[in-house]
Amino acid sequence: MDMDPPLQLRVFNLNCWAIRYLSKLRQERIGLIGDTLGQEGFDLALLQEVWSERDYCELKQKLTACYPYSHYFKSGVIGSGLCVFSRYPILDTFLYQYSLNGYPYMLQHGDWFCGKAVGLLIIKICGIIFHVYVTHLHAEYCRDKDAYLPHRVVQAWELAQFIQHTSKGADVVLLGGDLNMHPGDVGIRLLRGWTGLRDSFADTERFEGCEDGCTLVPANCFINKEELQPFPLGIRIDYVLYKGLSRFVVKCDSLVTTTGTAPGKSIPYSDHEAVIATLCVKPREEAKGSSGSAVEPELVDVVNEARTEVRVGLHTAERQRYSNGRMAILALLLLLLQAAMGLSSLVGWDSPQPFPKFSFSLLSLLATVVLLLSMVLYVFHTIEVKMLQGTEEQMRLALQALQDKLSSM
């Protein structure tokens, strides 16, 4: 099959950091992002953290002429923050919300309320079926004591499984997003090893931008420089990943990241740097079977490492469930004791009250609140335990299948 010339696809990926009322200069930056997208004329724009649907509507109105097709993915309490603008028709969409995404009582982080998810769009370009995925994983707030690492590993596993099971009818797979993982982290190695996705930064023929492709850099005025002290050059957590399936081959001709302030402006687009990849898609010279059947021995070690992290999270969740269950029982016993004391006064047993009535009522209210909160958290951590157990079992079966394949090679 001939395709002359090869298809070139320009992809723009950015975490916009557009939290209404909280993000600095949000409206100005959203306008700046819209102007840039309109001027540059990318084929696809994959955006994260567009938390306000009003911001999405403003971008859509501004970009209708350049990007006639767009989609906003809705999930969680305040939304997924994911949206896509495309020059080509969007044939279908689907959203998968991750089963684990932090804790509702960690209000200062807020990931649980965001409904972190992966969105899938099916797009047909010049007869080639693209499965385009956009996602945003749970943030890493402390690298030394990362309480959310098991949740992020589960999300990486679910993302890998979702791509693996939904991309069978695709010619090209493309993933963009803020993965909140360094290139060497177990989650990104698991995702790439399981799906066979290639990293545009590692494979590009031409790169221009921040050193080492970093997308959180100290030079950005919105960045807390103290958080990046261990990483003087910055960190790379935003990615454009891709692969061609049996009939097509994909390579990255060039990769560009923004470098702090936007061209001709005094402010950056976001606290993250944008990633702009130019991909080249062409048919394979010879018919080849899918490379998905090949098993890399290193993948067994990666899945084992990820399974270990899930087990650590499982033990922590079980301890938290036990603590909340014990607290609920103690609060219930206190309420029963108070009820018994109240009944004794009703039936005429004139025993002296050890507490004033106000203190007695206040203690009852406190015990009721503790009981309700403990029960809610017990249920929440029970769900967390079940999800971690399920993921650990999936990984065990995957390991068994990988080892069987390796032994038969």
Q: What is the pLDDT of residues 335-360, one digit of tens each?
A: 888 787 777 666 655 555 555 666 76
- 151 as an active site residue: the answer is no
Is 87:43 a contact under the CB 8 Å cutoff?
yes
Residue 351 confidence (pLDDT): 56
Residue 340 confidence (pLDDT): 79
Write down the pTM of the prediction: 0.92
- C-alpha to C-alpha distances, 336 to 184, 332, 339, 340, 341, nearest whole angstrom: 54, 6, 5, 6, 9
Greater confidence (294 vs 111) lies with: 111
Q: What is the pLDDT confidence band of residue 217, given thresholds at 50, 70 and 90?
A: very high
What integer is the mean pLDDT of 218-229? 90
Residue 278 contacts by C-beta under 8 Å, 6 or more apart in sequence?
Answer: 8, 9, 10, 11, 252, 253, 254, 255
Q: Is 131 exposed, middle or buried (0-12, 13-18, 19+ CB in 10 A)?
A: buried
Quick one: how many helices (H) and strands (E) in the chain?
8, 13
Q: List the catalytic residue out of 131, 136, 138, 272.
A: 272
Q: Is 6 exposed, middle or buried (0-12, 13-18, 19+ CB in 10 A)?
A: middle
